C-alpha cells in the first residue's frame, strides 16, 4: 500500500490497538493523545484498576501478536464467587462444559503494552500531550493543540479515527451535523473503587470474579498480579451520599459485606471511601459512526456502555477486528468501509449496550434467585 495516511485520536486501549493494526497494514499513522505518556508516570501504589478480557478482545490482540504476552500477565477467572450476607460463598462456573474463562488484566499494563507495541512501528508516530480541539468535516481537517506550548496545527489524513472515549471530541462535532442521532443515559448508580491489599489477598478464593449481590446494589472484586484485589462498589448515588461518616460506613459494611470488611480493613476503607467521590456511569448510542468520506468513531466514542457485562473494552477491540476485516475486503477503500462499519456494527453495539444494562440486574439481584440457579442447572451454563 502506497503512503496511505491515518490519524488516530486517543491513545487509550482502543486507539493504541487500532493504530497498531493500521501501521501493520502499512498506513503512515499519527496518534494524538491528550494525556502524558502513561509509561512515564509512576504507578499509584495499592490501587490497580483491572478489566475483564474476553474472547472478543483476545482475538483483536492476536492480530498484532500481543495476545500471548497479555495472557501471561493476566489472571484467569473461571467463574463467579457469590458472597451471601452471612458470609457464605458459592462458586458458579462460567463454562462448566469446556472450561472457558475470562481474564483479569491491569488497565495500565495493557495500555502500556499496546503503546510499546505501537512504538515499534517505524511508520507510526505518537504525540502525547496533544489534544484535538476542532474538526472541519468540509475540509476533512482537524486542529490539534500541544497542551504544553499551546501551539496548534491544522492537519489531515486519508483516514481519521476517533478513539477518544465516552466524551469524544470528534463525536461532539459529529453531533452538530444534521440528522446525527445520539442518545446518552447516565444511570442513577455510581461506582467507587476500593482495594483488598496484597497482604490479605490470599484470603479471597483465587481465579474467580467475586460478587456480593445485594438486590439494589452490589460489590465486586477482580484479582491483580501483585496479589491485591480491586474492589468496586456499585450503588445508587443517594445511598453513597447517605453514608457520610465513619460510623455509618463501618455499620453498613458490617451488616452488608461482613466478610469483606476485615479483608479491606476498616481504616483503609474509611480513607478510600471518603477520599474519592463515586464516579458516574454512562451508556451511549449513536445513529452512525462515520462522517464524510474519512471520519470514523470507534470504542467508547461510538458505544460507551455501563460496565456490568465487562465488555466495553472488548467491544472496542472487536471494532478494530471488524475494521481490519473491512479494509481487507475493500482493498482499503476508506470511504466505503466507514459506511459499511456503521451498517455492520450498529445492531451489535446497541445489543451489547442493552445487555450490559440488563446484566446489572442479573449480577446484583437475579444471581441470588432460585430461578437463576435452576436455569444454570438446566442449561449447564
Ligand atoms: P478510553 O479508554 O476512554 O480512551 C480514550 C483516550 O482518548 C484517552 O486516553 C483520552 O485521554 C484520549 N482523548 C480524549 N479526548 C481526546 C482529544 N480531544 N484528543 C486526544 N486524545 C483524547 N471493559 C471491559 O471490556 N471489561 C471490563 O471488565 C471493564 N470494566 C470496566 C469497569 C469500569 C468501572 C468502567 C468505568 C469501565 C469498564 N470497562 C470494561 C469499559 C472500558 O474501560 C472502556 O470500554 C474502554 O476503556 C474504552 O476504551 P477507549 O480507548 O475507547 O476509551
**How far apart are the CA of 164 and the centre of ligand 1, in A?**
8
Number of domains in the chain: 1
Is the pLDDT at 306 greater than 80? The verdict is: yes
Total Cβ atoms within 10 A of residue 346: 17
Identify whether 271 is part of a domain.
no
**How far apart are the CA of 108 and the centre of ligand 1, in A?**
11
pLDDT-based confidence at residue 42 (cuts at 50, 70, 90):
confident
Is the pLDDT at 370 greater than 90? The verdict is: no
Rounded distance, CA 325 to CA 163, Å?
18
Strand partners, 221: 210, 231
**How far apart are the CA of 10 and the centre of ligand 1, in A?**
9
For ligand 1, atom 26, name the residue with the nearest CA. Answer: 310
Is the pLDDT at 182 greater than 90? The verdict is: yes
Identify whether 197 is part of a domain.
no
Rounded distance, CA 54 to CA 166, Å?
21
Stretch (H or E) spanning 367: none
Cell of 75: 489472571
15 CB near ligand 1 (under 6 Å): yes
Kindly give the number of the ligand 1 atom that is closest to the alpha carbon of 301: 52
106 CB near ligand 1 (under 6 Å): no
Is the pLDDT at 75 greater than 90? The verdict is: yes
Rounded distance, CA 201 to CA 228, Å?
5
Is the pLDDT at 300 greater than 90? The verdict is: yes
Residues contacting 44, CB < 8 A, separation 6+: none
- The residue among 15, 94, 87, 101 whose CA lies nearest residue 58 is 101
State the residue range of the domain holding 56. Answer: 5-75+105-185+282-366
Tell me the best of 16, 148, 164, 220 to mutate to test the pocket of ligand 1, counting ligand atoms within 8 Å of each CB and taking the most.
164
Identify whether 269 is part of a domain.
no
**How far apart are the CA of 278 and the centre of ligand 1, in A?**
17
Calculate mean pLDDT across residues 234-241.
97
Q: Which pLDDT score is estimated for 381?
A: 42
Calculate mean pLDDT across residues 207-212.
97
278 CB near ligand 1 (under 6 Å): no
Tell me the best of 313, 315, 356, 360 to mutate to test the pocket of ligand 1, counting ligand atoms within 8 Å of each CB and taking the most.
313
Calculate mean pLDDT across residues 310-327.
98
Q: Which pLDDT score is estimated for 45?
A: 47
Q: What's the angle, vertex CA 360, arms to CA 354 and CA 364, rounded to 5?
A: 160
**How far apart are the CA of 331 and the centre of ligand 1, in A?**
29
Kindly give the number of the ligand 1 atom that is closest to the alpha carbon of 311: 25
Is the pLDDT at 79 greater than 80? The verdict is: yes
Calculate mean pLDDT across residues 171-200.
96
313 CB near ligand 1 (under 6 Å): yes
Calculate mean pLDDT across residues 319-332.
97
Identify whether 169 is part of a domain.
yes
Q: Which pLDDT score is estimated for 375?
A: 55
Identify whether 211 is part of a domain.
no
CA torsion 33-36-38-39 (nearest 10°) is 110
303 CB near ligand 1 (under 6 Å): no
Q: What is the mean pLDDT of the chain?
A: 94
Q: Which pLDDT score is estimated for 101?
A: 96
Helix axes 312-329, 13-24, angle to 10 degrees: 20
Q: Which pLDDT score is estimated for 213?
A: 94
Percent of the chain with pLDDT over 90: 90
Distances in whole angstroms, Cα of residue 120 to Cα of each of 125, 126, 188: 10, 11, 43
Q: Which pLDDT score is estimated for 371?
A: 63
Rounded distance, CA 71 to CA 246, Å?
40
**How far apart are the CA of 140 and the centre of ligand 1, in A?**
25
Rounded distance, CA 174 to CA 255, Å?
48
What is this model's ipTM?
Answer: 0.99
**How far apart are the CA of 90 and the centre of ligand 1, in A?**
32
pLDDT-based confidence at residue 2 (cuts at 50, 70, 90):
low
Kindly give the number of the ligand 1 atom that is closest to the alpha carbon of 169: 18
Tell me the best of 8, 19, 20, 34 to mutate to test the pocket of ligand 1, counting ligand atoms within 8 Å of each CB and taking the most.
34
pLDDT-based confidence at residue 46 (cuts at 50, 70, 90):
very low
The per-residue pLDDT for range 110-153, each reduced to its tens digit, is 999 999 999 999 999 999 999 999 999 999 999 999 999 999 99
Is the pLDDT at 363 greater than 60? The verdict is: yes
162 CB near ligand 1 (under 6 Å): no
Q: Phi/psi of residue 247, each to 5°?
A: -60, -45
Q: Which of 37-51, 168-182, 225-239 has the lowest mean pLDDT?
A: 37-51
Identify whether 61 is part of a domain.
yes
Is the pLDDT at 47 greater than 70? The verdict is: no
Burial (CB count <10 Å: 0-12, 13-18, 19+), residue 297: buried
Helix (H, G, I), strand (E, B) or coil at 9: strand
Calculate mean pLDDT across residues 33-40.
96
Helix (H, G, I), strand (E, B) or coil at 332: coil
Burial (CB count <10 Å: 0-12, 13-18, 19+), residue 377: exposed
Domain of residue 63, CATH code: 3.50.50.60
CA torsion 10-16-18-22 (nearest 10°) is 110
Is the pLDDT at 13 greater than 80? The verdict is: yes
Q: What's the angle, vertex CA 88, arms to CA 84 and CA 201, rounded to 5?
A: 95
Q: Which pLDDT score is estimated for 369?
A: 74
Identify whether 358 is part of a domain.
yes
pLDDT-based confidence at residue 372 (cuts at 50, 70, 90):
low
- The residue among 19, 29, 28 whose CA lies nearest residue 111 is 19
Identify whether 348 is part of a domain.
yes
H-type helices in the chain, by residue range?
A: 13-24, 55-63, 67-72, 107-119, 169-175, 237-242, 246-256, 261-264, 266-275, 300-303, 312-329, 334-364, 370-379
Question: pTM of the prediction?
Answer: 0.95
Q: Is the dihedral of CA 244, 250, 256, 262 positive or negative?
A: positive
356 CB near ligand 1 (under 6 Å): no
Distances in whole angstroms, Cα of residue 319 to Cα of each of 59, 241, 256: 11, 37, 39
Residues contacting 312, CB < 8 A, separation 6+: 300, 304, 305, 356
Is the pLDDT at 373 greater than 80? The verdict is: no
Answer whether 169's CB lies under 8 Å from 162's CB: yes
11 CB near ligand 1 (under 6 Å): yes
Amino acid at each position: 500500500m502506497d503512503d496511505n495516511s491515518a490519524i488516530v485520536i486517543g491513545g487509550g486501549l482502543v486507539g493504541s490497538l487500532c493504530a497498531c493494526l493500521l501501521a501493520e497494514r502499512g498506513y503512515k499513522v499519527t496518534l494524538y493523545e491528550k494525556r502524558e505518556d502513561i509509561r512515564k508516570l509512576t504507578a499509584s501504589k495499592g490501587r490497580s484498576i483491572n478489566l475483564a478480557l474476553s474472547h472478543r478482545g483476545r482475538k483483536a490482540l492476536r492480530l498484532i501478536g500481543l495476545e500471548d504476552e497479555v495472557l501471561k500477565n493476566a489472571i484467569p477467572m473461571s467463574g463467579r464467587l457469590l458472597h451471601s450476607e452471612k458470609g457464605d460463598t458459592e462458586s458458579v462456573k462460567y463454562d462448566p462444559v469446556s472450561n472457558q474463562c475470562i481474564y483479569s488484566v491491569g488497565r495500565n499494563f495493557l495500555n502500556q503494552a499496546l503503546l510499546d507495541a505501537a512504538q515499534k512501528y517505524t511508520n507510526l508516530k505518537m504525540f502525547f500531550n496533544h489534544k484535538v480541539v476542532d474538526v472541519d468535516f468540509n475540509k476533512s481537517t482537524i486542529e490539534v493543540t500541544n497542551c504544553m506550548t499551546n501551539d496548534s496545527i491544522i492537519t489531515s489524513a486519508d483516514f481519521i479515527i476517533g478513539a477518544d472515549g465516552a466524551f469524544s471530541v470528534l463525536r461532539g462535532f459529529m453531533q452538530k451535523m444534521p440528522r446525527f442521532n445520539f442518545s446518552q443515559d447516565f444511570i442513577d448508580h455510581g461506582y467507587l473503587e476500593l482495594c483488598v491489599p496484597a497482604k490479605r489477598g490470599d484470603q479471597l478464593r483465587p481465579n474467580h470474579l467475586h460478587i456480593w449481590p445485594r438486590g439494589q446494589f452490589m460489590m465486586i472484586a477482580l484479582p491483580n498480579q501483585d496479589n491485591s484485589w480491586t474492589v468496586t462498589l456499585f450503588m445508587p448515588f443517594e445511598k453513597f451520599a447517605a453514608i457520610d461518616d465513619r460510623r455509618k460506613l463501618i455499620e453498613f459494611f458490617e451488616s452488608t459485606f461482613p466478610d469483606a470488611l476485615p479483608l479491606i480493613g476498616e481504616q483503609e476503607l474509611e480513607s478510600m471511601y471518603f477520599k474519592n467521590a463515586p464516579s458516574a456511569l454512562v451508556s451511549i448510542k449513536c445513529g452512525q459512526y462515520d462522517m464524510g468520506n474519512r471520519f470514523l468513531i470507534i470504542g467508547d466514542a461510538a458505544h460507551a456502555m455501563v460496565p456490568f457485562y465487562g465488555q466495553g473494552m472488548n467491544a472496542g477491540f472487536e471494532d478494530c477486528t471488524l475494521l481490519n476485516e473491512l479494509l481487507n475486503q475493500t482493498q482499503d477503500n476508506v470511504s466505503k468501509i466507514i459506511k459499511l462499519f456503521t451498517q455492520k456494527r450498529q445492531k451489535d453495539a446497541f445489543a451489547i449496550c442493552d445487555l450490559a444494562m440488563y446484566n446489572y440486574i442479573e449480577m446484583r439481584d437475579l444471581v441470588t434467585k432460585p430461578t437463576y440457579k435452576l436455569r444454570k442447572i438446566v442449561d449447564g451454563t
